Amino acid sequence: MKVLIAVDSSEIAEKTFEWYVDNFHKEENEVFVEHEADQPDLPTMMFAGGAGAFPQEEINRIVSEHKKAIEKLKNRYVDKCKDTKVTHYKVHVDITETNPGHGIVKRADALGVDLIVMGTRGMGVFRRTLLGSVSDYVLHHTKRPVLIYHHQH
């Protein structure tokens, strides 16, 4: 079975990964750990008389820190796979041009996975309506089975 586990840098994502390994994983499963990263937030400056330019050095620093954070996340999940009974795995990070949910659905289709596993932060209906929810998006836009882990505090 091919399984895509969608992760981010949250504790919920780690708990989801651990729950999958402890409760659902079979040795023959092929696991794809996927992180769809947003573009870095680049600042803009406006002056009273019109648009201004932000220093290129600062933009370079922000982009560099963003890449380091993504690489750190990728390495954390490579290590987690090595420390568990997951032997057939690939950790993939992609910088998405759209929203992370769309990237997860697209990647799951490209890989032909049998199951998508992801966590949810448990936002209320009001916050989810305003902010959107990656798990909600995936659940309603994929034709693949989705297992959503909700961590009990």
> How many CB atoms neighbour CB 130 within 10 A?
9
Ranges of the chain with pLDDT below 50: 49-50, 126-131
Domain that holds residue 88: 2-39+55-149
pLDDT of residue 125: 52
Q: Is position 85 within any domain?
A: yes
Q: What is the pTM of this model?
A: 0.84
Mean pLDDT of the chain: 85
Q: Is position 44 within any domain?
A: no
Q: Is position 47 within any domain?
A: no
Q: Is position 45 within any domain?
A: no
Instruction: For residue 104, give the CATH number of its domain.
Output: 3.40.50.620
State how far the Cα of 74 lies from the Cα of 8, in Å rounded to an integer.
Answer: 10
State how far the Cα of 138 lies from the Cα of 114, in Å rounded to an integer.
Answer: 14
pLDDT tens digit sequence for 79-95: 999 999 899 999 998 88
Pairing of strands 50-51, 46-47: antiparallel
pLDDT of residue 58: 85
State how far the Cα of 115 lies from the Cα of 108, in Å rounded to an integer.
Answer: 8
Q: Is position 104 within any domain?
A: yes
Q: Is position 111 within any domain?
A: yes
Q: Angle CA(89)–CA(93)–CA(97) in degrees, nearest 5? A: 145
pLDDT tens digit sequence for 39-62: 887 776 555 544 556 778 888 899
